[in-house]
Amino acid sequence: MEEEIKAEFLKNGFSFDDEAEILNKCLTFCIQYTLSPSDLVSSWDVYSLNRGLQLTVQSSHMGAFLQQLQNERREDIVKKEPGLHFYSSDISMMLNDEYENTKDIILGTPTDKRKSSQTETIVSARKTNGSISTSRKHLETITPFGQRKNKFVVQFTLNENANGESMKIENDEENPSDDIIKRVQPIKRCSLQIISSQPEPGCRFMYDRMENKFNFLESRIKDHTTALVASGLHEEPTDPTVASQRSVFAVGMICCEEEGRLKEKPILLQSSVEHSGGQRVRLDLQNLDHFSVFPGQVVGVEGHNPSGHCLIASKIVDRIPLSASSTENLPPTKKQAMDQYLQSTSAVVAMPELSLIIAAGPFTTVDNLFFEPLAELLSYARRKQPQLIILLGPFIDSDHPEIKKGTVDRTFDEIFQDEILARLRDYVEYMGSAARVILVPSVRDASHDFVYPQPAFDIQLPDLEHQINSITNPGIFCANEVKVACCTVDVLKQLSAEEISRNPQGGSKQRMTTLANHILNQRSFYPLYPPAEGVPIDFSLAPEALQMSTAPDILILPSDLAHFVRVISLGERSEGEEVKCICVNPGRLSRGEGGGFFVELNYHGSCDSSSASVLRI
């Protein structure tokens, strides 16, 4: 039969780079899926057109070609049984149940390794009467997530008609006509430059001392003071604790007088060591029509202190003017990265464009570790073909019931490798060299260093190191000249619990915008102090890692609060140009036993001309 397969390939104008190996694999495919040589070559013809391949058949494409054969078989079965719901990873198990005498598989792809590992686990569990809690589910296993009816439903749309393009979302079902037409032209690979590179791996313990906390807070107050004075809009700050009948300008950090939540009375302002020896003074906000403050917020205050015990505020400056550069006080490594980035972007004339899908964990439902939501997301991405997928942890959630109970039969690293990286490897191999994926860790990741700020994942995929990357948490990177900042700590929820306000601008409907504005105005990924309970922050790492060195084009802040996509104005530069940022909370990809949300975003040159949609998976 190998000669027939070879003849069929040659008849269609194809040649081989490793004839013996390719023909051996193709023979196995024909037996596995009961294909004739002409059917096999016909499927390869479609596959090569979709990927834009040359006429030379390469053995390196056999793994992705196998996946296409599985997808074709799935479509055939769905046509016969329309009500059946299953995932691409179940194809092999289904075929093995249906064709018991044809169990030969081609080893070498991540999918095949997972299947082999799963089979061994099942046999072992049957021998010991054990329960299989973490292996891939069988076809007959029905989960609440698999039974849901409404899939990929648009919940919110931003700038739907931007650039004349409507963000119409396809139904979950595969479109038979969406084969060659949309996949003939491979997507343009996006450029990628990671700006943040701290901290280094291995930070599993918190080494910071009281001195580190003091230096961190003093550095923030000093940086804000320098920036406010450099803008030319404010005078040099004075000591707010000194009695004075005239109006003064002071810079300091909002503090609580006692343990517990911040209250409007009393609020304290802690100034810098340089201006007041680090002393605190009571802050009176009664004369202000509106304000929004929280513990740890660094602000400028105009007012007077007639008694020396209370600073009566007439104005609060809660943002640093954009005209003030923030790169001067950066650590050398980060400043060098920023300088390289600015030099590279200065020569770019073309309008930056980027298509991306953003999703935040957990990536599996609470009733199992099948990672069905992640599989659905990647299936959706195969049809939509974004240039970049951003996945934010937790990936192996330490709060998952099975993880907390310790009933899993694999190590956390093995689950991460088998369920996360292997799926992503399959995805990029299927999509081709243009696909890129970025992973951002979380303090809830059981398989990773948990001290915040966190180092990037150590991803050992030598052949895909330019397609699957990881950045620090928090982190900043540039893709197609679009600056993207990410932080997986739920700082929005924590700020919401600590912030107090009076008549905030925009009212309660704009509360999410106000919270996101605090992050951008403070130029810090985590401006809250003291940190919320449960956040293992190490202040010896914080001065460099938590500083937001540049205003991003896209700011991603996953949160348990309501999902949103908002365009936020950051003010004007000295030349009068208004600066804006798209702030995104993609929500959680899974919620309880059901699906959650993710965001699809198309950036076209500016925030106003970009479009985005929040989808329920």
Residue 264: CB atoms within 10 A of its CB come to: 14
SS3 485: strand
Q: Quick one: pLDDT band at residue 424, thresholds 50, 70, 90? A: very high
Share of residues in the chain with pLDDT > 70 (%): 76
pLDDT of residue 212: 84
Q: Which own/partner contact pairs does 528-535 have at CB distance under 8 Å and 24+ positions apart?
A: 528/294, 528/295, 528/296, 528/491, 528/494, 528/495, 528/498, 529/217, 529/253, 529/295, 529/296, 530/295, 530/296, 531/494, 532/494, 532/497, 532/498, 535/443, 535/452, 535/489, 535/494
Number of separate helices (H) and strands (E) present in the chain = 17, 24
SS3 426: helix
Q: What is the pLDDT of residues 89-125, one digit of tens each?
A: 444 444 444 433 333 333 344 444 444 444 444 334 3
Amino acid present at 128: T
| 612, two tokens | 């985005």
Residue 400 CA to residue 362 CA, distance in Å, equals 9
Q: With beta carbons less than 8 A apart as the criterion, state whether 325 and 298 touch.
A: no
Provide the β-strand partners of residue 304.
Answer: 312
Range of lowest pLDDT (99-108, 398-407, 599-608): 99-108
| Residue 488, pLDDT above cutoff 80 | yes
The mean pLDDT of the chain is 80
Which residues lie below 8 Å from residue 384, measured CB to CB, with a gap of 6+?
170, 357, 600
Name the helix (H) or strand (E) containing 209: none
Q: Quick one: pLDDT band at residue 350, thresholds 50, 70, 90? A: low
Q: What is the pLDDT of residues 279-324, one digit of tens each?
A: 999 999 999 998 999 999 999 999 999 988 899 999 999 988 776 5
Burial 365-392 (b: 16+ CB within 10 A, else e): bbebbbbbbbbbbbbbbbeebbbbbbbb
Amino acid present at 23: L
DSSP string across 36-74: -HHHHHHHHHHHHHHHT--SEE-GGGHHHHHHHHHHHHH
Kindly state the average pLDDT of the residues 234-261: 87
| Residue 163, pLDDT above cutoff 50 | no
SS3 247: strand
pLDDT of residue 106: 37
pLDDT of residue 583: 96
Model pTM score: 0.73
Kindly state the average pLDDT of the residues 175-202: 58
**Residue 510 has what DSSP assignment?**
G
CA-wise closest residue to 250 among 267, 266, 228, 265? 228
pLDDT of residue 203: 53
Q: Which residue has the higher pLDDT, 273 or 555?
A: 555
| 515, two tokens | 């919270």
Q: Quick one: pLDDT band at residue 515, thresholds 50, 70, 90? A: very high
pLDDT of residue 206: 58
Distances from the Cα of 254 to the Cα of 52, 289, 544, angstroms: 58, 18, 21
CA-wise closest residue to 319 among 119, 124, 581, 586? 581
Q: Quick one: pLDDT band at residue 339, thresholds 50, 70, 90? A: low
| Residue 153, pLDDT above cutoff 90 | no
| Residue 164, pLDDT above cutoff 80 | no
Kindly state the average pLDDT of the residues 161-172: 44
| Residue 201, pLDDT above cutoff 80 | no
Distances from the Cα of 113 to the Cα of 95, 101, 117, 423, angstroms: 17, 20, 6, 11
| Residue 443, pLDDT above cutoff 70 | yes
Q: Which of 31-35, 133-137, 246-250, 501-505 has the highest mean pLDDT?
A: 246-250
Range of lowest pLDDT (2-16, 136-150, 420-434): 136-150
Q: What is the pLDDT of residues 552-590, one digit of tens each?
A: 999 999 999 999 999 999 888 766 788 999 999 999 999
Residue 376 CA to residue 373 CA, distance in Å, equals 5
Range of lowest pLDDT (70-79, 232-241, 444-453, 608-617): 70-79
Amino acid present at 598: F
SS3 333: helix
The residue length of the chain stands at 617
Edge-first strand order for the sheet with 436-440 is 153-158, 606-616, 597-604, 353-360, 388-392, 436-440, 468-470
